[in-house]
Amino acid sequence: MGRSKVAYRRRKPQNRMSMMLVSLVVLILAGVVAVKSAQLQQKKEIYEARQKELEAQIADEELRAEEIEEYRKYTQTKKYVEEVAKDKLGLVYEDEIVFKEE
């Protein structure tokens, strides 16, 4: 019994030192994880804002594509051809009367 008490007393300071080192390592790791977590949260917010911006651009471009498609269909109509012929070429129907300002 005498020897085990002496051996226990000798190990006690080593155990305290080991526990402090382990605690220090755990605290350092917790700090690193907390910092990285904060950085990831910031990146997440930036990416979410960018995603909303890109979704808005997509919606605008889809609307623009619809407008272009409507214009394409309009340019294939007889009415468009008549307008271009009158405005740019000055053409009129035979039975049409044209009044010009003096």
pLDDT(8) > 70: no
Which tokens belong to 56?
Answer: 């808005």
Q: For residue 32, give the 3-state DSSP assignment.
A: helix
Q: Which segments of the chain does DSSP mark as H helices, in order?
A: 2-75, 78-87
96 against 30, higher pLDDT = 30
CA 68 to chain centre: 26
Q: What is the pTM of this model?
A: 0.54
Domain positions in the chain are: 2-66
What is the Cα 80 distance to its own chain's centre? 41
